Amino acid sequence: SQTIHQWPATLVQPVGSPLSLECTVEGTSNPNLYWYRQAAGRGLQLLFYSVGIGQISSEVPQNLSASRPQDRQFILSSKKLLLSDSGFYLCAWSVRQSGANVLTFGAGSRLTVL
């Protein structure tokens, strides 16, 4: 069966510090991978998605970046965090089945920037 892991689960970082959130998927190959952010009281904002190794699409210009060094690994990074980067970050994967693009989400990483 397929599983998705995200870490760390909780992170408190000072403004200006770097960030690295990691996501890995097991039990499938060549998945589509996604990073979403859920800010307090707001919905889900798609940040990045990837359809293959080294292929990253950015949805929102910001000081975050994403990388996919391996087929089932997706990393969200920042060189210098801003207060506005605080939020709940969700990684997800999908493989199209019968046309529907069903996303399966990780448990999330809560980032607080102070």
Partner 1 sequence: GEDVEQSLFLSVREGDSSVINCTYTDSSSTYLYWYKQEPGAGLQLLTYIFSNMDMKQDQRLTVLLNKKDKHLSLRIADTQTGDSAIYFCAESGGDYKLSFGAGTTVTVRA
Could you count the other beta carbons within 10 Å of the beta carbon of residue 112? 12
| String of contacts with partner 1 for each residue 60-89, x by CB under 8 A | ------------------------------
Q: How many residues bind partner 1 (CB under 8 A)?
A: 24
Interface residue with partner 1 among 17, 107, 112, 114 (CB under 8 A) is 107
The residue (of 10 and 17) whose beta carbon lies closer to partner 1 is 10
Whether the CB-CB separation of 58 and 66 falls below 8 Å is answered with yes
What one-character-per-residue DSSP string does 26-65 give?
ES-SS-EEEEEEE-TTS-EEEEEEEEETTEEEESS-SSEE
Per CB under 8 A, does 35 bind partner 1?
no
Positive or negative torsion for Cα 20, 38, 9, 11? positive
Catalog residues that contact partner 1 under the rule CB under 8 A.
Answer: 32, 36, 42-46, 49, 51, 59, 90, 92, 94, 99-108, 110
